[in-house]
Amino acid sequence: MISHLSLKFRTDSEGLQQQETLDALPKAIRSSISQYLFLNLVQNIYLFQGVSNDLIFQLVSEMKAEYFPPREDVILQNEAPTDFYILVSGSVELVEVPNGAEHGAEQVVGVAKSGEVIGEIGVLCYRPQLFTVRTRSLCQLLRMNRTAFLSIVQSNVGDGTIIMNNLIQLLKEQTDGVMVGVLKEIESMLARGRLDLPITLCFAVTRGDDHLLHQLLKRNLDPNESDQDGRTALHIAASKGNEQCVKLLLEYGADPNARDSEGKVPLWEAVYAKHDTVVQLLVKGGAELSSGDTSLYACTAVEQNNIELLKQILKHVIDVNRPSKDGNIPLHRAVCDGNVEMVELLLRHGADIDKQDSNGWTPRALAEQQGHEEIQNIFRSVIAPRKYTSNGRMTPTLLGRFSSDPSMQKVIREDAEQQPSKVLPQRRKVSFHNSLFGVISSSHPRRETDHLLSRGLAATGGPSYPQAHHNPLVRVTISCPEKGNTAGKLVILPGSMKELLQLGAKKFDMMPTKVLTIEGAEVDEVELIRDGDHLVLASDDWIPDDTQIGGKN
């Protein structure tokens, strides 16, 4: 008693009684000071590893700083758990008094130092305190009231699960007989739902406790509840290969095709972890790999050079030409890695060698740019069968390139200048069409194959890919007699009729609805337009006269 009063007098006289000073301040200022003084300390407590910053902020604001003199009991053995403490400075000893023993029979079973927590087991499990906690020196402690603590955690359900998991993990590492008994008691209370902390399905599945999971499901917990990353209990069970948990979740209506924040579904977790039995259970329950981000799955297999994983993915019905967030398909990545085996496997499953990424590169162009000769030869062998139709007529090789992905067209600049892209650094190879003779000859009719090649490259709206034999630009003259313009303007042909009409609207300040040749024939397809053509843009209401149409070519 004397030491306690002496400490109070000392702290008052030396201005060390922080809590009284804090209590006299407005809540916002009080909270800011507490964060400055104690936030880093609380963040490093084992109990709060992995919880949200919001929870830490709320806890620190509710903690009370107190001083205790040496040899003072902070917690008494077997007392009701009303508070737990975090040591800011000093040290305490954990004292155990066997039941029925005299006061002198007590023994020290442990020591806690600055940055450690005491009394948390009694508070979290709502059981009498295990030990008497006695200070060894002058100590400053942060006191957390149990009622306030549970109130905060109840509003952060996911964090409550993390806290309980951290406690159980610590107890599992203890070899002391008392702690082993406490662990068994906690697990029993979990199974009966006797804890005040909110326990989620994800917590039960993470521990692999199918009995606890069953108890929670019978209490009508949502089988599709997810954590902060969007992962459901079924995601976790599938990744861990826990067959019994997967069965229980499916029986209680868990969605087998739920996606997390990254686009992953439970079936992918099982496939990736090679849990074949779980894969079968999920497929039987209606799971489909195509419900998730299939491009992510295939690209992951390619990046890891895991041919077996890629084969497992391709056993399911997926679109190998579906682009990922960065615009790449798995074939792009396989070509960049020079992985011939994966390139062949993807091609057998329908991968498109002319699929453009967000920068306009196709797998074929990447193979040429990076000098992968073997992959180029494979691509040529894939193209070869397309050269002849069923009636024996020859069709241009690159026709498929133009029609494979019309939605990827880029906007043509109004000044018709083609700016080189920074991501396509390779210079174009020297060719006849890059010379003056090539420019002059471009005004003459060319073979249909040449025209389609130019159209296929121009349709990308960007710089030429490493093609050495053809000029990628298709230049046409557009005019609008309806607006008094008959001379026309020379522009680069866009990749679609819609873009051509939009270009005309900008050039002539009107809204054309159709494209005509200079002879008056209406053009419906942009593929029919050739280099050097003169096109007339008009609206549906325009009626031409002999001087406006058919007079020149």
Phi and psi angles of residue 88, each rounded to the nearest 5 degrees, phi first: -90, -45
Q: Does residue 285 surpass a pLDDT of 60? A: yes
The pLDDT tens digits of the residues spanning 245-279 come to 999 999 999 999 999 988 899 999 999 999 999 99
Q: How far is CA 180 from the centre of its chain?
A: 40
- The string of DSSP codes covering 52-85 is -HHHHHHHHHH-EEEEE-TT-EEE-TT----EEE
DSSP category for residue 548 = T
User: Within 10 A of 8 (CB to CB), how many other CB atoms are there?
Assistant: 13
Q: Which residue has the higher pLDDT, 19 or 509?
A: 509
* Nearest partner of 273 among 245, 248, 321, 237, judged by Cα: 237
- The confidence score (pLDDT) of residue 463 equals 38
With 90 as the cut, is the pLDDT of residue 60 above it? yes
Q: What is the pLDDT of residue 552?
A: 45
Q: What is the pLDDT of residue 12?
A: 54
Higher pLDDT, 103 or 31: 31
**What confidence tier does 86 reach under pLDDT thresholds 50, 70, 90?**
very high
Q: How many CA atoms lie within 13 A of 305 on its CB side?
A: 5
Domain 1-97+106-190: CATH superfamily, name plus number: Jelly Rolls (2.60.120.10)
Fold of 198-273: 1.25.40
Q: C-alpha distances in angstroms, 14 versus 20, 51, 136, 231, 517? A: 13, 37, 22, 53, 96
pLDDT band, residue 14 (cuts 50/70/90): low
> Given a cut of 80, is residue 361 above it in pLDDT?
yes
- State which fold the 475-538 domain adopts: Ubiquitin-like (UB roll) (3.10.20)
Confidence of residue 11 (pLDDT cuts 50, 70, 90): low
**pLDDT for residue 458:** 38
Is residue 143 within 8 Å of residue 60, measured between CB atoms?
Answer: no
- Please compute the mean of the pLDDT values over residues 72-93 and round it to a whole number: 93
**Cα(518)–Cα(522) distance, rounded to whole angstroms?**
10
Structure confidence at residue 252 (pLDDT): 93
Least confident among 5-19, 348-362, 445-459: 445-459
- Domain ranges (residues) in the chain: 1-97+106-190, 198-273, 289-382, 475-538
pLDDT at 435 over 70: no
pLDDT of 316 reads 81
For position 384, what pLDDT does the model report? Answer: 44
Residue type, 536: V
Q: What is the mean pLDDT of residues 89-95?
A: 93
**Is there a contact between 278 and 267 (Cβ–Cβ < 8 Å)?**
no
Half-sphere exposure (CA, 13 Å, Cβ side) for 436?
Answer: 0
Write the DSSP symbol of residue 219.
T
pLDDT, the chain, mean: 77
**pTM metric for this prediction:** 0.50
Question: For the residues of 4-44, what is the DSSP string, one character each?
Answer: HHHHHHHHHHTT--HHHHHHTS-HHHHHHHHHHHHHHHHHT
* Alpha carbon distance 367, 369 (integer Å): 6
pLDDT for 206 beyond 80 = yes
Residue with tokens 């861990």: 240
Instruction: Please tell me which of 36-40, 158-162, 428-432 the model is most confident about, judged by mean pLDDT.
Output: 36-40
Mean pLDDT of 83-90: 95
Q: Name residue 518's beta-bridge partners.
A: none
Task: Indicate if the pLDDT at residue 411 is higher than 60.
Answer: no
pLDDT at 233: 92
The pLDDT assigned to 432 comes to 36
Range 289-382: architecture per CATH: Alpha Horseshoe (1.25)
pLDDT digits (tens, 9 = 90+) for 41-51: 999 999 999 89
Q: Is the fold of 1-97+106-190 the same as that of 198-273?
A: no
Report CA-CA distances (Å) from 306 to 276, 313, 511.
17, 11, 54
Task: Lowest mean pLDDT of 142-156, 185-199, 259-273, 310-324, name the range.
Answer: 185-199
The percent of residues in the chain predicted with pLDDT above 70, rounded, is: 75
Looking only at the bridges linking them, the beta strands covering 475-480 and 534-538 are parallel
